[in-house]
Amino acid sequence: MSFETLTLKSVRARPVVLELKRPVVARIATLTEWPLILIDLYTEEGVIGRSYLEPYIRKSMRYLIPALHDLGEMLKGRRLAPVEIYEAGRKSLHFVGYEGMSRIAVAGVDMAAWDALARAAGVPRAPAVFIARCRGCDHQIELDFAEL
């Protein structure tokens, strides 16, 4: 089974807050709601990759969602190659720092990119990522889904 070449068109991020029936009680806080950011990565070829982030704190979504949209704009028109997409996103953080919320945003786009490739190939995302990690991530690789 082969996969098609995809081109990143846009990224859409939407905030969702789930009200918990049973709160999560921790030493530092009691959480009665669970914020999520739903990420849709659209390709020119019509494949949509999806992922989500769980930022724990509702207010952090104010910073993560614009960062996700900025990453989408920066990566628009690029070939959807998750390793290259991740590296480009990570390198774009040079002035704001490689850790924290900015890195979380890059991870969200990375997961959506893997999902889009796996959907295009008709396989679950986990095997696609596993194969790539097994073969090394120092360079972009061609995934061979026929071996699954």
pLDDT tens digits, 53-106: 999 889 999 999 999 999 999 999 999 988 888 889 888 877 777 778 888 999
Q: Is residue 1 part of a domain?
A: no
Q: Are 29 and 36 in contact (CB under 8 A)?
A: no
Cα distance between residue 20 and residue 59, in whole Å: 17
Least confident of 16-20, 38-42, 98-102: 98-102
CATH number of the structural domain spanning residue 53: 3.30.390.10
The dihedrals phi and psi of 142, each to the nearest 5 degrees, come to -100, 120
Report the half-sphere exposure of 13 (CA within 13 A, side-chain side).
24
Q: Is residue 3 part of a domain?
A: no
Domain that holds residue 133: 8-147
pLDDT at 119 over 70: yes
Match 């949209």 to its residue by tokens: 69
Match 């969602």 to its residue by tokens: 65
Whole-prediction pTM value? 0.80
Count of structural domains within the chain: 1
Q: Is residue 2 part of a domain?
A: no
pLDDT of amino acid 76? 96
Cα distance between residue 9 and residue 80, in whole Å: 10
pLDDT of amino acid 102? 84
